[in-house]
Amino acid sequence: MSDDVTITDPARDEWRTYDEFAAGIDTYRLPNVDLDGTALTLTLDDGETLSLVFGPASGSVTWTGLGAAGTDPYDAVAVRDDVVFVNLPLVSREREALTVVYSMTTHRAAVIRSRIAAEAVEGTPQVGQEFWAATTDAGEPTGEIPGPSRDLIGKRNVYRYSPHHLYEHVYISSQRYAWQCLDGVQRGHGDMDLSTVWKFADGLYLFCFREFRIAVASVWLHDLGYQLMTTGIFLGLNGEGASEHSRGGGHIYPLGSVSYPDAQPV
């Protein structure tokens, strides 16, 4: 891993915009898969449904649910043989994205909606996120229902997204994580931001963050099993103030973990 690292001086007084740090952050991402010609209906834990019909136009999905409908592009990755990560970088609804993770064996799913607020509010991330556990119409659901997890608290990992994107994460509590850039345009920068972790399956964790300093949020699916890969997306405002969608992905290198002997983080 160290052979790929390019050491540069930290630009402490120059905070990078979302589009600057996201450029190339999908270099080591897992390959896309084609879902054209398939359909999926999800029943969310609040009783609402989300219907996805992929195609007939290549790379498009017609969706209905969450009080809206549209036809938009989609991005899909098979993170495991039976688990698919699908993102809808919506063009029919500006400043919004829908992300779905589903299993073809347990027929469990999770749905995340990311939305950019119209105005920035001091002390609140401008990009918010909502979460639902769901089931699919492909079979009888089995196994554990996806939901909030404390399993990552105390863990420390390094994430290599490209030859010039290397980040460290420390999972502080059920609500926050700390990060720093070790290599890339953000080298020397770091912060502690709001985060949400859900366990999806054994070794598979949804990790979602919402930054305070710039308008960006992200959805990642960490495979902390044998594969040690992560697949994700970003939604945020670029340097010109326009909404922008980006993909991410790469390798996970665990550094270690700590356990708390008595008082526990929130």
- Kindly report, residue by residue over 211-253, the tens digit of the pLDDT: 999 999 999 999 999 999 999 999 999 999 999 999 999 999 9
φ/ψ of 15, rounded to 5, equals -75, 125
- Structural domain contains residue 70: yes
Dihedral over alpha carbons 110, 114, 78, 32 (to 10 degrees): 160
- Structural domain contains residue 262: no
* CA pair distance 137, 50, nearest whole angstrom: 11
Residue 1 confidence class, pLDDT cut points 50, 70, 90:
very low
First to last CA, the chain: 34
Residue 226: CB partners within 8 Å, gap ≥ 6? none
Q: Decide if pLDDT at 4 tops 90.
A: no
- Structural domain contains residue 168: yes
- Structural domain contains residue 34: yes
- Structural domain contains residue 264: no
The burial class, CB within 10 Å (0-12 / 13-18 / 19+), for 122 is: exposed
* CA pair distance 21, 205, nearest whole angstrom: 24
- Structural domain contains residue 94: yes
Residues 163-199 pLDDT 10s:
999 999 999 999 999 999 999 999 999 999 999 999 9
pLDDT at position 192 is 97
- Structural domain contains residue 247: yes
User: Whose structure tokens read 């592009």?
Assistant: 73
Single pTM value for the model: 0.93
3-class DSSP assignment, residue 172: coil
H helix or E strand, kind and range, residue 215 = none
* CA pair distance 168, 184, nearest whole angstrom: 12
Please check whether residue 75 is in contact with residue 52, taking contact to mean a CB–CB distance below 8 angstroms. no
pLDDT at position 2 is 43
Give the chain's domain count: 1
Q: Decide if pLDDT at 7 tops 60.
A: no
φ/ψ of 179, rounded to 5, equals -140, 155
Q: Decide if pLDDT at 5 tops 70.
A: no
- Structural domain contains residue 112: yes
Domain that holds residue 128: 2-257
Q: Decide if pLDDT at 13 tops 80.
A: no
